[in-house]
Chain A
Amino acid sequence: MKMNKRLLVVVAFAALAGCAGKEVKHNGASANASRGMNTQANGAGQGNNAQANGMQMSLKSFSHLVHFRTNSAKISGVNRKIVKENAAYLVAHPNVRVRLEGNTDERGTAQYNLALGQRRADAVKRMLEVLGVAGNQIATISFGKARPLALGHNPQAWAINRRVHFNYKYFASK
């Protein structure tokens, strides 16, 4: 069972990474991540790895922000690890719902950016689902360029603003 889960995760990542065009690198990264979960889960008894790992996590122990390259909705590099940590938490807490809020930087047009922000949120949602999170735990929304975190008009501010925010408070407060 353990092997099957691991295999599933790796296969899923191969599929995602295939879209991103960097198969080998991402494949290796995901295998490492799975091994990491395995060792951490040793003392937790039964249950699957992600869940055991997720049960020990608090919402504050991992980042709720993933970032993107200009005009891109691809999740790459350190951001894949952040999505995995959020996925582990959501798998372990099936009653928790999250709102994925897609945002863009200020460059370009408002409504194209709104669509781009939606694509970013949808890309994170698809990756979460591949990682075993139930679809009904996830909602997506885009704010486009209308809610910048950094107010500057420079590349540093733009990098901060190209983000999907895992908003756990939205449904918790409803």
Chain B
Amino acid sequence: MNRWGRYIAVGLTALFLGPWARAAVRIDINHGYGQKFPVAIVPFKGEQMWPPALRPSVIVRRDLTGSGWFDCLPSRDYLAKPHHAAQVQFNDWRLLKATGLLIGHMQSLNGGRVNVAFRLYGVDKGAQIQGLEYTVSPHELRTVGHKIADAVYRAFTGIRGVFGTRIAYVRMYPRGLPGHFLYELEVADAEGHSVHVILRSREPIMSPRWSPQGRRLTYVSFETGWPVVYVQNVATGARFQVAAFHGLNSAPAFSPDGTHLALCLSKTGYPEIYTLNLATRQLRQLTFGPDINTEPSWSPGGGHLVFTSNRSGGPQIYEMTAHGHHKHRLTFRGRYNADASFSPNGKWLTLVSRRRGQYHAAVFELADSTLEVLTDTSLDESPTFAPNGQEILYSTVVGGHRVLAWVSLNGQGHRILGLRGGDVTDPAWSPFRHP
């Protein structure tokens, strides 16, 4: 585009798409256009005595609806409410055009434990797909609900569900004078429920990232007054300092084998990427030069890193080997591409891309270098892949507050995570938990 053409384009953009022209940002919740699986979820026998948040049918319904893949038929339309295999009449469910049917029951046992059993049917074939039974203590009931949702999700989509995974994020609340906040590092389930506060501070907390097994978090905390990178065991709370150099200590990310961190330090005077051996504490500098080099992210195999650098003028995504060799630029479209991270299969990156002054979560396909914007929102940040690669979680501004939102890559819609209060930033999706 020639110079004048560009000015005209920018002018028109400002008129029609400028951030101030758009008073309210709208996110379509489950307004997808693809095929959805209609499923019937019968309230489980015996679940009425438990609060809604612990009832299996309620958890499964919310999980499946939220995934964008399922149309959960309303239970008021059901002709029968079976709880056991012998009560199921498939013709009832064919009339409703259900393709899947979930039934079950739960029962309190002596000693406070709870038994939960479910059966999942394929209505078209009139056959059971799966049936399982769990005996757990009451505080594990949500986990059981997510496991049942995972089973239904996998049976129909063929993809492993992420309902049992967790997210880490930072929440901030204004406190006292302007520019002062209370910061909380929190971990929740992928739905934003069962919130645990990992760290609370009057100084900023930033950029949590999970270890490959999902047991540890690394993050930046300013609680000493200066930025320090920590590694913390989520279950025990035990933690240790791994980087507290002069200048920036930022953007830590675990290598896929868990032995190293990649991070950004500015102890030389410039923000550069390093790897840190967590056992020996040996540092290795991978980038050199007076530009900004930050936001390192490992390839799933651990052989490569992508990072953000402004060596060409503005921020763009570059790739190099884990030893700092063969640096080359990946993104050329647009003048702001940053904070890339790999999809679990290593074929895509998710990143933040600016288009016409708006910052969008986007996906970059490594094979053919295409860059596709995923959102209508304008202040997106920190996009992170779900461990099954089907969804991206990111932070954006809706209704004047920062919230976490999901966008599914199958085009089945966007939705906002139900975290209420404060501004929610810096999400990181956990890997699958390994039992």
Closest chain B CB from A79 CB (angstroms): 18
Q: How far, in whole Å, are A155 and B400 apart by their CA atoms in the complex?
A: 14
**Could you say which residues of chain B place their CB within 8 Å of the CB of A80?**
none
Check A110/B20 contact, CB under 8 A, given A146-B204, A147-B204, A151-B174: no
Closest chain A CB from B182 CB (angstroms): 12
Closest chain A CB from B393 CB (angstroms): 14
A–B pairs, 14, beta carbons within 8 Å: A106-B397, A108-B352, A109-B295, A109-B315, A110-B339, A112-B292, A112-B294, A114-B251, A119-B292, A142-B227, A143-B222, A146-B183, A153-B379, A155-B19
Closest chain A CB from B275 CB (angstroms): 16
Interface string of B275-300 (1 = CB under 8 A from A): 00000000000000000101100000
Extra pairs beyond A114-B206, A146-B172 (17, CB < 8 Å): A107-B359, A108-B352, A108-B354, A109-B315, A109-B338, A110-B382, A111-B308, A111-B339, A114-B248, A118-B247, A118-B248, A142-B227, A143-B204, A143-B222, A147-B179, A149-B179, A151-B178
Q: How far, in whole Å, are A149 and B177 apart by their CA atoms in the complex?
A: 9
Judge if B185 is at the interface, Cβ distance under 8 Å.
Answer: no
Judge if A168 is at the interface, Cβ distance under 8 Å.
Answer: no
A window 142-158: CB within 8 A of B? 142-144, 146-151, 153-155
Interface string of B379-400 (1 = CB under 8 A from A): 1011000000000000001001
Judge if A85 is at the interface, Cβ distance under 8 Å.
Answer: no
**Could you say which residues of chain A place their CB within 8 Å of the CB of B180?**
147
Do the beta carbons of B174 and A116 come within 8 Å of each other?
no
Chain B residues within 8 Å of A, Cβ to Cβ: 19-20, 172, 174, 178-181, 183, 204, 206-207, 222, 225-227, 247-248, 250-251, 264, 266, 269, 271, 292, 294-295, 308, 314-315, 336, 338-339, 352, 354, 359, 379, 381-382, 397, 400, 425-426
- Which residue of chain A has its CB nearest to the CB of B423? A151
Pick from A118, A151, A154: contact of B271, CB under 8 Å: A118
Do the beta carbons of A112 and B174 come within 8 Å of each other?
no
Do the beta carbons of B207 and A111 come within 8 Å of each other?
yes
Closest chain B CB from A136 CB (angstroms): 13
Q: How far, in whole Å, are A119 and B250 apart by their CA atoms in the complex?
A: 14
Check A115/B206 contact, CB under 8 A, given A141-B226, A149-B178, A149-B179: no
A window 113-130: CB within 8 A of B? 114-116, 118-119, 122
Q: How far, in whole Å, are A143 and B181 apart by their CA atoms in the complex?
A: 12
Pick from B172, B250, B382, B397: contact of A115, CB under 8 Å: B250
- Which residue of chain B has its CB nearest to the CB of A158? B19
Q: How far, in whole Å, are A73 and B309 apart by their CA atoms in the complex?
A: 15
- Which residue of chain B has its CB nearest to the CB of A103? B179
**Could you say which residues of chain B place their CB within 8 Å of the CB of A107?**
359, 379
Judge if A62 is at the interface, Cβ distance under 8 Å.
Answer: no
Do the beta carbons of A108 and B266 come within 8 Å of each other?
no
Do the beta carbons of A112 and B295 come within 8 Å of each other?
yes
Count: A-B pairs, CB below 8 Å: 97
Do the beta carbons of B20 and A108 come within 8 Å of each other?
no
- Which residue of chain A has its CB nearest to the CB of B352? A109
> Interface of chain A, helix or strand or loop or mixed?
mixed
Pick from A106, A140, A146: contact of B206, CB under 8 Å: A146
Do the beta carbons of A147 and B181 come within 8 Å of each other?
yes
Interface string of A130-174 (1 = CB under 8 A from B): 000000000011111011111101110000000000000010000
Do the beta carbons of A122 and B292 come within 8 Å of each other?
no
Judge if A34 is at the interface, Cβ distance under 8 Å.
Answer: no
Closest chain A CB from B261 CB (angstroms): 14
Closest chain B CB from A145 CB (angstroms): 8
Judge if A71 is at the interface, Cβ distance under 8 Å.
Answer: yes
Do the beta carbons of B266 and A110 come within 8 Å of each other?
no
Do the beta carbons of A115 and B379 come within 8 Å of each other?
no
Q: How far, in whole Å, are A166 and B220 apart by their CA atoms in the complex?
A: 23
Do the beta carbons of A115 and B181 come within 8 Å of each other?
no
Pick from B19, B181, B250, B315: contact of A154, CB under 8 Å: B19
Closest chain B CB from A3 CB (angstroms): 33
Do the beta carbons of A108 and B315 come within 8 Å of each other?
yes
Do the beta carbons of B178 and A108 come within 8 Å of each other?
no
